[in-house]
Structure 1
Amino acid sequence: MSLPVLVAMVVVGISAVVAAVHLSGGSAMARLTGTDQALQRFVADFPDVTARAVVLTEDSGTAFLLLDSGSVGIVRGIGDKFLTRVVTAADVADVITRDDRIISLRLRDFTWKGGDFRFVDAEAADAITATLSGKSGALGTRVKA
């Protein structure tokens, strides 16, 4: 068998596998449909935690929950699954508010370093930033998790 034929077979084979994974839903991204889904997903992993407020990012890919303990719960869509975390001020390496509605969050945790998050309004971004900085964020009402 000649080398060009072998290369063509490999390229076609890999392309077929990638297409099959994509068409079967393997490249679907998890999105939150609302604050209720975010709260339910968080409660599945942390049943004893009570949230004061739930704030979704503009793209509904991440939810931040302001917890009674003064920490922040995070529900983040990664691939087709959700990552949930409880983050305290001690876990935060850096939090910067840019453009009033965008938070750039860097965590000390090596398994998930954080990211940039855009909120619908500046009040939500300020409350999350204040809580992650060790100050009290004043947003919303109590939600039983």
Structure 2
Amino acid sequence: MTLQLLGLLVVFGITGIVMLVHFTGGSQAASLSQDEDIRDAWHADWPHNKPLKTMVNTGGTAALIHLPNDALGLIWSFGADTVSRTLTAGSLRSVKARGNTLIVQFNAFDCPTARIPLTRRELPEWHAQLAPYLPQEVSHG
């Protein structure tokens, strides 16, 4: 078998596999549109932190999780799976709006940034919910 023929078989084989996965739903993003979906995804990562209330974005791709003791969690879809974080004081580096996207930067090496699509009405509400987890400025005087 010639190298050119082998190269064509590899290229078409990989393309066929990618198309098969995509058209059978394997590349579909995780949905967080239902309260049950949010709770199941949260429970997979944090089985001992029971959600009290959830607040999902309009697109169904992210949610804020209200936890006992006034704690807050954030979960968002990342491809076909989800990423979730419990938030503590200072765990966020910044929360900025860019267009209709809220960009949340974490103070964690393993999870540097989350991009959450929100409506114009959701942006200030989500920012207000996340603001207490930003670093507090210390005055030296």
- Deviation (angstroms), 1:6: 2.8
Residue 24 of structure 2: aligned partner: 24
1:43-102 deviation line (CA, Å, top 9, x unaligned) = 454344355642212321111123343442012222222222202232111222456x64
Query: Percent same amino acid among aligned pairs?
Result: 22
Supply the distance in 2 between the matched residues of 1:79 and 1:102 (Cα, whole angstroms): 17
Supply the distance in 1 between the matched residues of 2:68 and 2:57 (Cα, whole angstroms): 20
Supply the distance in 2 between the matched residues of 1:6 and 1:51 (Cα, whole angstroms): 53
Preserved CA contact (<8 Å) 1:98 1:104: yes
Residue 125 of structure 1: aligned partner: 126
Q: 1:119 to 1:53 in 2, by over 3 A?
A: farther
> Letter of the aligned partner of 1:118 in structure 2?
P
Supply the distance in 2 between the matched residues of 1:19 and 1:97 (Cα, whole angstroms): 35
Alignment coverage as a number of residue pairs: 134
Structure 1 unmatched runs, 5+: 136-145
Supply the distance in 1 between the matched residues of 2:36 and 2:2 (Cα, whole angstroms): 59
Residue 116 of structure 1: aligned partner: 115
Supply the distance in 2 between the matched residues of 1:71 and 1:89 (Cα, whole angstroms): 10
- Deviation (angstroms), 1:30: 0.4
> Letter of the aligned partner of 2:84 in structure 1?
T
Q: Mapping of 1:81-92 within 5 angstroms?
A: 81-92=81-92
> Letter of the aligned partner of 1:132 in structure 2?
Y
Preserved CA contact (<8 Å) 2:51 2:67: yes
TM-score relative to the length of structure 1: 0.70
Supply the distance in 2 between the matched residues of 1:20 and 1:3 (Cα, whole angstroms): 26
Structure 2 unmatched runs, 5+: 137-141
1:89-143 deviation line (CA, Å, top 9, x unaligned) = 32111222456x64321002222222232334245224323332379xxxxxxxx
Computed over aligned residues only, the root mean square deviation of the Cα atoms, in angstroms, reads: 2.8
Residue 104 of structure 2: aligned partner: 105
